[in-house]
Amino acid sequence: MEESADLLPGGYLAGEWVVGELIGVGGWSTVYAARPSGRTAGPDRPPEVALKVMPTAGLAPRQASRIVESAHREVELGRRTGHPRLIGLIESFVLSAPDRPSLDGAIVLVMERAALTLRELLDSGVPEADRGRLIEGICEGLAHLHRSGWVHADLKPENVLLGRDGSVKLSDFGLATELTGTHGYAQPLGTLDYLPPERWTAPLGAQGVQVRPSNDIWALGIIIHEVFASGASPFAGATPMARGAAVQEYGEGRAPLRMDHAVPPFWRDLAADCLAPTHEARAEHTADSLLDRIAAGRATRSRRSTWPHGGRARAVLLTLVLCATTGAALSSGAPRKDALPPVGALTVFNADRSCQDRSGRDPQCSLGLAIDPTRPYTPANVVPTRVWHGDVVTAECQLPDGLPIVDEDGLRSTRWFRVRLLSGSEPSAAWLPAVRTKDRPPLPNCPDPAAS
């Protein structure tokens, strides 16, 4: 069979990469697997990559300009906002292929290689144990994008890539839009099944249509439903246009939101907030706030499955109160109120008001100090020494980006303090989450906790 002039054959040398099998074909691009050529292979080169080839030959000037702009956005976003939840851009170049005029001059993006897309996983069935983790990974990627001042603008299962190690990465930033204030402008493009109600009637100005982070939040709500409902959309219809009509009816208040009963209550509530019918209502639910809820929900489910039914468990906590189950778990060498350290003083604070006025050291009000602030804050990750509201401890340094912790009042922080324990304690230091103190002394950042 004759090779198409619009496709690169296996073994073709594109830049410094040897083309492998075809991965996929889109409207503007074709994606191939590739490996480094013999002269460039080495430890600094990944053994396998994906080549996204974006031809411009033979296109009308406006079409070619659109592709160039799309490639530029991907390169710019990859250069400025690298993150483990975003597919990595390794390099870009212009393809020299005089033997293939239709591809000569094409823009080529060299990217991390993934194992499959979320769409492929949906088609084969998402394992129940992986569903929450996948959604959390997508949300982490969105949170980073939004904090960096970008909107994905085309979030869908095809653009969520899964690594062989199970990692989740957002991809395809050809429509990504940089924010100027609360919104940006983009061409009126996107995948119909993932457009929020307001996009169907958005006015088209000289700069395009308005794009805001709430657009991505809507798409996330659709994906949550699909993950739990075997790929089904919450909006009925045989075609994308029919489903779009259902979205508009819902957005105008003429139809309720109907979700599949397969979606569990926690995820149903989360998806419903993502699918609030107006931008204003949806804007209250940022990717960061959704992440907090997912983390808190995960911790609550974990406690319910591992703690005795008679144990004290508060649904609003992210395993913050780690109460001792036996007297032996409480160390008599715990820091006391009369141990006033000269520097880095932290007074322990318990947001549970019922514990603030108790005299003595009630086991139910004890607070755990973590062994490793980057691992889940569970009983297995807590030192024997306990602290109580009002105790004073000495902090050596701080870790700004540990595991997020939420207290009883909903206060969230990723900051942790490394605190000294009394002489003879084992270990000699532990970690106190910043939500457990009101003090913020000037402290240096801690080294890698693993090295500490």
DSSP assignment of 79-132 equals: HH---TTBPPEEEEEE---TT-TTTTT-EEEEEE--SEEHHHHHHH---HHHHH
Query: Reduced to 3 states, what is the DSSP secondary structure of residue 54?
Result: strand
- The residues assigned a catalytic role are 154
Mean pLDDT of the chain: 81
Flag whether pLDDT at 277 surpasses 70. Answer: yes
Mean pLDDT of 336-365: 69
Neighbours of 243 (CB within 10 A): 18
pLDDT for the residue 384: 87
Flag whether pLDDT at 183 surpasses 90. Answer: no
202-211, 242-251, 370-379, 389-398: lowest mean pLDDT where?
202-211
* pLDDT tens profile 84-114: 899 888 888 988 888 888 888 888 889 889 9
d(CA 138, CA 160): 7
15-24, 116-125, 200-209, 323-332: lowest mean pLDDT where?
323-332
169 is an annotated ligand-binding site residue? no
Flag whether pLDDT at 257 surpasses 90. Answer: yes
DSSP type of residue 360: S
Mean pLDDT of 174-181: 82
d(CA 73, CA 81): 11
Query: Using an 8 Å Cβ cutoff, are 366 and 324 in contact?
Result: yes
Cβ neighbors of 75 (< 8 A, separation 6 or more) are: 89, 92, 109
Question: Residue 40: pLDDT band by 50, 70, 90 thresholds?
Answer: low
| Distance in angstroms between the alpha carbons of the first and the last residue of the chain | 62
Same fold, 1-113 and 115-306: no
Q: Taking the domains of the chain in order of start, what are their residue ranges?
A: 1-113, 115-306, 327-436
Q: What is the bridge-based pairing of β-strands 49-54 and 107-112?
A: antiparallel
Flag whether pLDDT at 118 surpasses 70. Answer: yes
Q: Which residue has the higher pLDDT, 369 or 184?
A: 369
Tell me how far CA of residue 265 lies from CA of 79, 134, 262, 345, 443, in angstroms.
39, 17, 9, 43, 42
- The hierarchical CATH code for the domain 115-306 is 1.10.510.10
User: Encoding tokens for residue 80?
Assistant: 């400025």
Question: Residue 230: pLDDT band by 50, 70, 90 thresholds?
Answer: very high
pTM: 0.63
H-helix or E-strand containing 33?
Answer: strand 30-36
pLDDT for the residue 333: 38
pLDDT for the residue 330: 30
Cβ neighbors of 245 (< 8 A, separation 6 or more) are: 237
pLDDT for the residue 327: 29
Residue 106 is which amino acid? A
Cβ neighbors of 16 (< 8 A, separation 6 or more) are: 36, 37, 39, 40
Flag whether pLDDT at 243 surpasses 50. Answer: yes
CATH superfamily of 1-113: Phosphorylase Kinase; domain 1 (3.30.200.20)
CA nearest to 110, candidates 86, 94, 90: 90
pLDDT for the residue 185: 67
Mean pLDDT of 404-408: 78
Tell me how far CA of residue 1 lies from CA of 4, 11, 220, 221, in angstroms.
9, 17, 42, 44
DSSP string for 13-74: EETTEEEEEEEEE-SS-EEEEEEE-TTT-STTS-S-EEEEEE--TT--HHHHHHHHHHHHHH
Flag whether pLDDT at 317 surpasses 70. Answer: no
Look at the block and give the residue holding tokens 């204030």. 181
Flag whether pLDDT at 309 surpasses 60. Answer: no
108-122, 300-314, 357-371, 374-388: lowest mean pLDDT where?
300-314
CA nearest to 201, candidates 164, 239, 252, 238: 252
- Produce one character per residue of 31-42: b if its CB has 16 or more CB atoms within 10 Å, e if not: bbbbbbeeeeee
Proportion of the chain above pLDDT 70, given as a percent: 84
Flag whether pLDDT at 136 surpasses 90. Answer: yes
Q: Which residue has the higher pLDDT, 12 or 63?
A: 12
Q: Which residue has the higher pLDDT, 98 or 325?
A: 98
pLDDT for the residue 307: 41
Query: Residues, the chain, total?
Result: 452
